[in-house]
Every structure is written in C-alpha cells, then in structure tokens.
A and B are shown apart, each in its own frame.
Chain A
Amino acid sequence: AQTVTQSQPEMSVQEAETVTLSCTYDTSENNYYLFWYKQPPSRQMILVIRQEAYKQQNATENRFSVNFQKAAKSFSLKISDSQLGDTAMYFCAFMMNSGGYQKVTFGIGTKLQVIP
C-alpha cells in the first residue's frame, strides 16, 4: 500500500519570505502522479501543483514550485514571496491507477500560517 508522510504538522512564515513544506511517500510503482492541494479556512480543496513521475523537470506554478526527488521519494513544495492568502492547510497526495481505478492517497496535512 502507498503511504504519504507529511512530518511538519504546523509551520509559519513571514509575509514575503520563502517556505518549504516536506512530503515523502512510499511506493513500489514507477508510474504515478503527485499533487499539492491547499485547503484554506473555507475548506475548499484547491489544486496547487501537479507533478508526473515520468517527468524529470520540477513543476512550477507562479510562486509555487516543487523539488521532486524520485529516487528519494521526496516531493517538497516551495512557496516564494509568501502572501497572507497562502495561509491554509496543505496536503500532499499520491495518485496511481489501481485495479482499473484512480487511487489517491493523502497525507495528513501541514498547517501553514503566514504572518504579516
């Protein structure tokens, strides 16, 4: 079974600074996808970034970028120029095709507080 570990329950960062959230996963699969989702106080789950395991290049979306280390099974999220609106829970997720359906495993989340 796949597992996703987020070892930082809570983090804080000053506005305009950079913060990195950690995520590790365990799998024997070679083809899979990784995601970071953001859940603000409204509790709406919002896609932040997606990474295909077959791609060596790290994904970026504006201020958000990942450091994908496939051999180490590590998938960290870097938020640059942090903004107050980045305050949220961040979930790392692992996705693969399993028995004909899409199986997604979520970590338990990291609560990020951006301080003015």
Chain B
Amino acid sequence: DGGITQSPKYLFRKEGQNVTLSCEQNLNHDAMYWYRQDPGQGLRLIYYSQIVNDFQKGDIAEGYSVSREKKESFPLTVTSAQKNPTAFYLCASNLGFTDTQYFGPGTRLTVL
C-alpha cells in the first residue's frame, strides 16, 4: 500500500536532548513538508523540500533541522535550541506545485 509513515507515534524527550522524527513515503512524491500543530492553532510549516539534497526553512524553523538524502525520506531533528518543542508533528508530501498535500499519521512529542 502506498502512503506516508511517521515514527514513532509517541516520543518523550528530556530537556537538552536532540530527537529525530522519521517520515517516509512510497508515493514517489517529489516534495515533502514538516508541520507543527499546537492546540487552538492551525498547522505551521517548519521545513519543506522539493527535491533530494535541497530544503528550505518554513515559518518556524528555529530550533529544528532536516535532511533529504533520499526521495523517500525527510527526517526532522528537534534540537535543544527549540524552547517549546512539546507539540504534534505532521509530515506531508505531494507531487508538485498544484498537487494536494497528503499527510502521515503524526508524532506526538513531549518534553519531560
């Protein structure tokens, strides 16, 4: 089955630690995105990538980093520089400019 997978579903982090969230897709989509969702707010864009080995900052990139070494994979690292990382993180992908974005199931990150 084609789709987008995210792991883990739940992640707990101690303050000062970096953590990496996984996002994989087998839809042959060129573009991938990371969003953050907080209660009472819409989704906010963290990073996006349109092709392998290229990515751009979104609206709230501070404290996050990404890589795009393979077309299928777009991992997100939440660094210790992110002051309020507890949130729900969603990965999305699509074919191109006019294509609908499709989402993975999300990862809930909690900082202890």
Contacts and interface: CB of A to CB of B under 8 A. Distances in A.
A97 B90 contact: no
A30 interface: no
B100 interface: yes
B94 interface: yes
Interface in A37-64: 37, 42-47, 50
Interface of A: 4, 33, 35, 37, 42-47, 50, 91, 95, 97, 100-109
B43 A91 contact: yes
Contacts of A101: 31, 48, 50, 56, 97
B20 interface: no
B101 interface: yes
Contacts of A45: 43, 90, 92, 103, 106
Interface in B13-58: 31, 40-43, 45, 48, 50, 56
A33 B98 contact: yes
A68 B50 CA distance: 30
A107 B37 CA distance: 11
Closest 6 CB pairs of A and B: A106-B42, A45-B103, A106-B43, A108-B42, A44-B105, A97-B97
B45 A104 contact: yes
Given A42-B105, A101-B50, A102-B31, A47 B42 contact: no
Given A43-B108, A45-B106, 9 more contacts: A50-B100, A91-B43, A95-B101, A97-B97, A101-B56, A104-B101, A105-B42, A108-B41, A108-B42
Nearest to B104: A44
A47 B106 contact: no
